[in-house]
Amino acid sequence: QLQASGGGLVQTGGSLRLSCTASLSTFSNYGMGWYRQAPGKQRELVASIGFNGRIEYADSVKGRFTISRDNDQKTVHLLMNSLKPEDTAVYYCAADRRGRATGWSKAYDYWGQGTLVTVSS
């Protein structure tokens, strides 16, 4: 249902843009989230965007990351600037059919397969 792409290796201070394309018939009604999981750590919310455009960010990425959505393309993007080594993780996109911008992982009905982001120091 969800296909994430755009991960890779980047140096500290660099940028990447992740994309998540959905095969959901009513994509515009979904809330979408980006999560990440670093080795040995729990999965954490990075950013979420509701059906109405409401956005939430984790404090650790505010001012550096931007989430956006393109309902016509059924895609959500995560633009990551000023990357740090601590941003290294597998990034997952998720979809909430209730349309919320939420950090509650159990709210999400669908998850993508993950894309690896590695930031070298």
Tens-place pLDDT, residues 89-113: 999 999 999 988 988 889 899 999 9
Q: Answer for the pair 50, 101: CB distance below 8 angstroms, yes or no.
A: yes
CA neighbours closer than 13 Å in the CB half-sphere of residue 93: 29
- The pLDDT value recorded for residue 105 is 87
Q: Report whether pLDDT(49) > 90.
A: yes
Asked if residue 30 lies in contact with residue 96, where contact means CB atoms within 8 angstroms, the answer is: yes
H/E stretch holding 32 reads strand 31-37
Averaged pLDDT, 60-71: 98
pLDDT at residue 74 tops 90: yes
What is the pLDDT, as a whole number, of residue 36? Answer: 98
